[in-house]
């Protein structure tokens, strides 16, 4: 936005497009404001602006606008508290002779947006938790033409293909704050639509994400939605097969099966010569394996292919093959670089964070690299082309003494 337009907005009475804060001390309210502007409840299709360093009347609060403050505000976009990730810009501006930090929030293409599981909206000067009717309006406003593939409707399925008990017992409490859950006026379909589990249609049908997260048999409607695990005695696919597993079911069940499977295949040497305590030397650190497999589930392509994720556990390495190449601003050249990330399936990423399978967005590869380094494994390797990403973890050499 141009400075002249920002100056006019800063002096307006607070509205559904403007909020002012004298300081950044109350980060919760700033995040609530970002969430509310992203939801664009009035339907302006215009950005909302948070002015940090401005008093309620628009006058200067005299707040020093430091690089640290700007970084803190920028981090609010992707720290996992506001989901799906909002489109914001943060800049230092001098407006009418006053330094301010200006946060410009674009309306979301696929509302509702939530802050810590709660939907915030703003109409006029009112910022509040969305009512049941406001949730429905936001859910119906989604623009599927531009929406990511993970929230497109599955027209060959119906609501009976979803596990309502799994939704109530596992996903709903993980995705929605206790405060919002206390409002028991919302119908189950409204709750599912709000969380992008279903498309209201008519008729209402599961989304791709909904089928992956709480589907009774996801692979029945999404033939690629499973993980193939193959343990081999040698260093190539022609080697003798030791064991194989087809890992199917909703997302949480797949992750639980994988987490149970990994320790059974990690070999651990026990060193009793290094002092009073035993030292255990695994050939692979389990957190690194988990992060790479979860990354594959999160970022793979879920359309135009029937290929599962494949895990090949050779005698000297583990390869995780994910269908679908780089997406968005990710290229084969910058793949895996810290701070450079994009999301083919942003709503599935949100679901995995809610369920505890992703802590902070964009750091899974770095966590895996650090775990491998601490364990003495060679560096993580990637082979990336337009159709596939192959991640390879090489076995650690046995340590002595």
Percent of the chain with pLDDT over 70: 93
| CATH of segment(s) 227-394 | 3.30.565.60
Does position 326 have pLDDT exceeding 60, yes or no?
A: yes
Once rounded to an integer, what is the mean pLDDT over residues 59-82?
Answer: 91
pLDDT recorded at residue 167: 96
Banded model confidence at residue 146, pLDDT cuts 50, 70, 90? low
Which part of the chain is CATH 3.30.565.60?
227-394
CA geometry: angle at 47 spanning 44 and 52, to 5°? 135
Smallest CA-to-CA distance from 330 within 290, 391, 390, 385 is with: 385
Average predicted confidence (pLDDT) for the chain: 88
What three-state secondary structure class fits 2?
coil
The fraction of the chain above a pLDDT of 90, given in percent, is: 60
pLDDT digits (tens, 9 = 90+) for 29-63: 999 999 999 999 988 888 999 999 999 888 899 99
Which of the pair, 328 or 27, is modelled with greater confidence?
27
- Is residue 21 within 8 Å of 34, Cβ to Cβ? no
* Mean pLDDT (whole number) for 384-392: 92
- pLDDT for the residue numbered 273: 54
Q: Looking at domain 3-127, what is its CATH homologous superfamily?
A: Schlafen, AAA domain (3.30.950.30)
What's this model's pTM, rounded to 2 decimal places?
Answer: 0.70
Q: Nearest-CA neighbor of 163 among 214, 209, 207?
A: 214
Asked whether the beta carbons of 38 and 32 are under 8 A apart, the reply is no
Q: What is the pLDDT of residue 16?
A: 80
Q: Best-predicted range by mean pLDDT among 87-101, 125-139, 338-352?
A: 87-101
Q: What is the pLDDT of residues 266-307, one digit of tens each?
A: 988 655 555 555 556 899 999 999 999 999 999 999 887 899
CATH 3.30.950.30 placement within the chain: 3-127
Determine which of 77-81, 143-147, 376-380 has the lowest per-residue pLDDT on average. 143-147
User: Alpha helix (H) ranges present in 152-216?
Assistant: 164-166, 172-175, 178-181, 188-194, 208-214
pLDDT of res. 186: 76
pLDDT of 325 reads 85
Long-range CB contact pairs, 91-99, < 8 A, 24+: 92/65, 93/3, 93/6, 95/3, 95/6, 95/7, 95/10, 96/7, 96/10, 96/60, 97/60, 98/53, 98/54, 98/59, 98/60, 98/61, 98/62, 99/53, 99/60, 99/63, 99/64, 99/65
The residue that leads in pLDDT, 7 or 185, is: 7
- State pLDDT tens for residues 167-181: 999 999 999 888 777
């Amino acid at each position: 936005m141009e400075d002249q337009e920002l100056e006019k907005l800063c002096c307006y009475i607070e509205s559904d497009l403007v909020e002012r804060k004298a300081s950044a001390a109350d980060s919760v309210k700033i995040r609530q404001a970002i969430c509310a502007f992203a939801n664009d409840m009035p339907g302006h299709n215009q950005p909302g602006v948070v002015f940090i360093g401005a008093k309620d009347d628009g006058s200067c609060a005299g707040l020093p606008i430091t690089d640290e403050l700007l970084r803190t505000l920028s981090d609010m976009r992707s720290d996992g508290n506001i989901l799906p990730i909002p489109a914001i810009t943060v800049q230092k501006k001098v407006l009418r002779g006053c330094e301010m930090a200006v946060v410009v929030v674009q309306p979301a293409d696929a509302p509702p947006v939530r802050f810590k599981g709660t939907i915030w909206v703003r109409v006029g000067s009112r910022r509040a938790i969305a009512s049941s009717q406001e949730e429905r309006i936001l859910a119906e406003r989604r623009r599927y033409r531009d929406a990511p593939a993970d929230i497109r409707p599955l027209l060959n399925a119906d609501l009976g293909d979803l596990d309502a008990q799994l939704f109530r017992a596992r996903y709903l409490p993980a995705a929605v704050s206790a405060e919002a859950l206390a409002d028991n006026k919302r119908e189950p379909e409204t709750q599912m639509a709000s969380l992008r589990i279903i498309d209201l249609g008519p008729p209402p049908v599961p989304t791709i994400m909904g089928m992956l997260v709480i589907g009774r048999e996801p692979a029945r409607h999404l033939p690629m939605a499973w993980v193939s695990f193959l343990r081999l005695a040698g260093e190539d696919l022609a080697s003798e097969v030791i064991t194989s597993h087809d890992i199917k079911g909703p997302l949480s069940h797949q992750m639980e099966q994988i987490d149970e499977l990994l320790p059974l295949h990690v070999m651990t040497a026990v060193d009793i010569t290094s002092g009073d305590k035993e030292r255990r030397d695994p050939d692979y650190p389990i957190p690194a394996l988990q992060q790479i497999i979860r990354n594959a589930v999160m970022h793979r392509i879920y359309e135009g292919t029937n290929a599962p994720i494949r895990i090949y556990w050779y005698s000297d390495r583990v390869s995780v093959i994910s269908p679908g190449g780089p997406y968005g601003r990710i290229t084969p050249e910058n793949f895996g670089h810290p701070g450079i990330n994009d999301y083919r399936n942003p709503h599935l990423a949100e679901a995995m964070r809610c369920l505890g399978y992703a802590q902070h967005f964009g750091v899974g590869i770095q966590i895996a690299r650090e775990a491998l380094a601490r364990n003495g494994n060679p560096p993580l390797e990637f082979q990336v082309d337009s159709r596939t990403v192959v991640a390879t973890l090489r076995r650690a050499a046995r340590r002595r003494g």
